Amino acid sequence: MSQASLPRVMVGSMRLGAWGKDLDTQSLEYFIDGALDMGFDHFDHADIYGGHTTEGAFGEVIRRRPELKKKLQLHTKCGIIYPSDQRPEYPHKSYDSSSEHIRWSVENSLKELGVDSLASLLIHRPDHLMESKAVASLVDELKSEGKIQRFGVSNFNTSQVAHLSNHSEVDIHQFECSIIEHSALEDGRLLQCMDLDIQAYAWSPLAGGAQFSTDSKMSASLRTFLYELAKDMGIPLDTLWYAWLFKHPSRLGIVTGTTDLSRLENARMAMDIELDASTWYDIHQRATGKKLP
């Protein structure tokens, strides 16, 4: 399946709930409507977000506004066994990519979100005990039942993606990537996504707000340089960070982590900015601290 129809910007939900802003139903509804007004209709979830509460909170908006079911494209992840007040039966954190658990997770996410189909289902973390053929068979069943449209992974390495791709079509791969977390440029993950027509998405594309925090691992000199560069270009800082990612020929997308609609607008703005190669490499060399050979 071609990934051209997938968006460059996916709205992340992790900080919308109890693990972040903890928006009430009315505030969450306002945020969703604002995102839709900007043309952002793909939202990224995971069953564990908010200690297994964020999908349900999001679903409350959909139950209140059922017309949103036709407007929203919802993606979610599963496979992490995460103890919480909502899952007291989980004794400790582990992974479970068994067919039984994945099917239960899909059914539960559909119920919590209040929808009939997921735009995609991702395995959240690599599971050393995963039986890829069984997963592939279940994915085929879920697609034929109309419960998921696409399948993908998150945080896998290249060999894990290659192995799974022998049994099932992998449509999406999410992993951390930003100006200062750029290992995906070196370890082959982005090249693999290009080769296999997998849509890559960078989570934490702003490195957890490193540009705006003096406590981050980002150097003061790089922070100052990017600030001055964005100022000279007449664009917001986060727009520059996003534009740097969008430059990569893999058609790399982003999963935003904001609860601020103005920052979603900054992401939208970045799609219209084309950095030249000289600027891109200037940023990259300053971020890595290494000159080009």
Q: Which residues are catalytic?
A: 49
Closest CA to 245 of 217, 212, 283: 283
Task: Output the six-digit token pair for 123.
Answer: 């395995």
SS3 content of the chain, % helix, strand, coil (to 5): 45, 15, 40
Cβ proximity of 97 and 135 under 8 Å: yes
H/E element holding 136?
helix 132-144
H/E element holding 37?
helix 25-37
